[in-house]
C-alpha cells in the first residue's frame, strides 16, 4: 500500500481508503456484520489505514462496528466521520441558513456522540456531511470547530461537498478554515478537475475522493437485469432505465481495458488516483474479495497520457441522486 499526505495535515493516509457507508446496514443491504468486520480487518492487513464513516450510516451502526474493529487492532489507524445536518436534509438547499444545519450546540453534541460510538478520545478528521459555500464566513461553525480542536476532541476538520457540486466549496478552500474536502470524482463525474483539484493543490487542502465506482455502475456489475434487495438505496439510484444507460456507457469503457487496466474497477480507481491533488480514494467494500481487488491497485503505476485522454471523453453529466 502506498501513502499520501492528507493536505496540510501531518497525516499519511493510504491512497485507497475504506468507505464505511455500506457496512452501516440500512441503505446498502446484503452484507452481515461479521462480513463487514472481516473486510475491515483484511483492509488493515493489506495496509489501509484510513476509514471514513458517518453517523447516518446506519444511525451510528457503522461507527459502532468500527469501534469493535479498532479494539482488535494495534497499529495506528486514521478515522474520519461526519456530522449530519440538524435538519437532516441532503443536499443542503441553496439559501438554507447555517442555523438550520450546523448550529454550535449541534456540532459539539454530534461530535461527542461520535467519540463515544467510535470509542476514541480524538477524532482524526471530523467533517460536515453537507455544505453550502455561503456558510464559509458565518463564524458559528468555525467557533465550534475551534473549540473542539482546543479541547482535543477533533484533530482536523473538513467538509463533504454536496453530490455533483464540486464548485460549491471553492470559497471554503480559499478561506484556510478547512483541512480537507470530500468530493465525488470518477470517470463519469470529472468536474472536480476543472477548479477544485487545482485550488486544493494550491491551498494544500486534502482531497478525499468518494464514489469512485459511481455507486457500483463503474464496476461493470450493473446490467438491465440487476436487482437489489427491497429497501436498498440502489433501487432508487438505478431506477427506471438508468441501469440500461449505465450498461451502455460501461460497455464502451470496457473496450479500453488491457495492459494498463485489466478490469473496470481497476480503471476506475487508477483514474481517481491519477491527480496528485488527491490524497485518498475511499471505496465501499463490504467483502474481503473486494478489499483485495481494490488494494492491489495501489502499486504506483500511472495510466498513460493517451489512455487518460481517451477516458476523459467518457465524462457523463447527470445526477442520479
Residues 141-188 have pLDDT tens digits of 999 999 999 999 999 999 999 999 999 999 999 999 999 999 999 999
The answer as to whether 321 is a domain residue is: no
Residues 6+ apart with CB under 8 A from 40: 18, 23, 51, 65, 66, 69
The answer as to whether 251 is a domain residue is: yes
- Cα separation, 38 vs 286, in Å, equals 8
Residues 233-244 have pLDDT tens digits of 999 999 999 999
What is the grid cell recorded at 124? 482524526
The answer as to whether 58 is a domain residue is: yes
Residues 181-203 have pLDDT tens digits of 999 999 999 999 999 999 999 99
Closest CA to 267 of 230, 286, 294, 241: 294
- Cα separation, 261 vs 281, in Å, equals 17
Crossing angle of the two packed helices 61-71 and 104-118, in degrees rounded to 10: 40
Residues 297-308 have pLDDT tens digits of 999 999 999 999
> What average pLDDT does the chain have?
96
The answer as to whether 318 is a domain residue is: no
* Total count of domains within the chain: 1
The answer as to whether 266 is a domain residue is: yes
Residue 60 has pLDDT above 90, yes or no: yes
pLDDT of residue 19: 96
- Cα separation, 180 vs 169, in Å, equals 10
Residue 220 banded pLDDT, cuts 50, 70, 90: very high
* Residue 177 belongs to domain with CATH number: 3.20.20.100
Closest CA to 302 of 279, 282, 278, 274: 274
Per the structure, the complete domain to which residue 180 belongs is given by 3-312
3-class SS letters over 228-294: CCCCCHHHHHCCCCHHHHHHHHHHHHHCCCCCCCCCHHHHHHHHHHCCCCEEEEEEECCCHHHHHHH
The answer as to whether 65 is a domain residue is: yes
Amino acid at each position: 500500500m502506498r501513502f499520501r499526505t492528507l493536505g496540510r495535515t501531518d497525516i499519511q493516509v493510504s491512497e485507497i481508503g475504506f468507505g464505511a457507508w455500506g457496512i452501516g446496514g440500512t441503505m446498502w443491504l446484503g452484507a452481515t456484520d461479521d462480513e463487514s468486520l472481516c473486510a475491515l480487518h483484511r483492509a488493515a492487513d493489506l495496509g489501509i489505514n484510513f476509514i471514513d464513516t458517518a453517523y447516518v450510516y446506519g444511525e451510528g451502526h457503522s461507527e459502532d462496528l468500527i469501534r469493535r474493529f479498532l479494539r482488535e487492532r494495534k497499529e495506528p489507524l486514521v478515522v474520519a466521520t461526519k456530522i449530519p445536518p440538524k435538519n437532516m436534509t441532503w443536499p443542503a438547499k441553496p439559501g438554507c441558513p447555517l442555523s438550520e444545519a450546523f448550529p454550535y450546540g449541534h456540532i459539539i453534541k454530534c461530535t461527542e456522540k461520535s467519540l463515544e460510538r467510535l470509542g476514541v478520545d480524538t477524532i482524526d478528521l471530523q467533517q460536515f456531511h453537507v455544505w453550502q459555500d455561503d456558510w464559509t464566513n458565518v463564524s458559528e461553525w468555525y467557533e465550534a470547530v475551534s473549540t473542539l480542536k482546543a479541547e482535543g476532541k477533533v484533530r482536523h476538520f473538513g467538509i463533504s461537498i454536496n453530490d455533483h457540486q464540486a464548485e460549491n466549496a471553492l470559497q471554503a478552500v480559499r478561506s484556510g478554515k478547512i483541512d480537507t474536502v470530500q468530493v465525488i470524482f470518477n470517470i463519469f463525474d470529472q468536474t472536480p478537475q476543472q477548479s477544485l483539484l487545482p485550488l486544493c493543490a494550491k491551498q494544500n487542502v486534502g482531497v478525499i475522493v468518494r464514489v469512485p465506482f459511481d455507486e457500483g455502475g463503474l464496476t461493470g456489475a450493473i446490467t438491465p437485469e440487476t436487482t437489489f434487495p427491497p429497501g436498498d438505496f440502489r433501487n432508487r439510484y438505478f431506477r427506471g432505465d438508468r441501469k440500461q444507460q449505465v450498461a451502455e456507457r460501461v460497455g464502451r469503457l470496457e473496450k479500453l481495458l488491457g495492459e494498463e487496466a485489466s478490469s473496470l474497477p481497476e480503471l476506475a480507481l487508477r483514474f481517481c488516483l491519477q491527480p496528485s491533488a488527491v490524497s485518498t480514494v475511499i471505496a465501499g467494500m463490504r467483502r474481503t474479495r473486494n478489499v483485495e481487488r481494490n488494494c492491489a491497485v495501489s502499486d504506483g503505476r500511472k495510466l498513460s497520457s493517451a489512455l487518460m485522454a481517451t477516458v476523459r471523453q467518457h465524462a457523463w453529466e447527470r445526477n442520479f441522486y
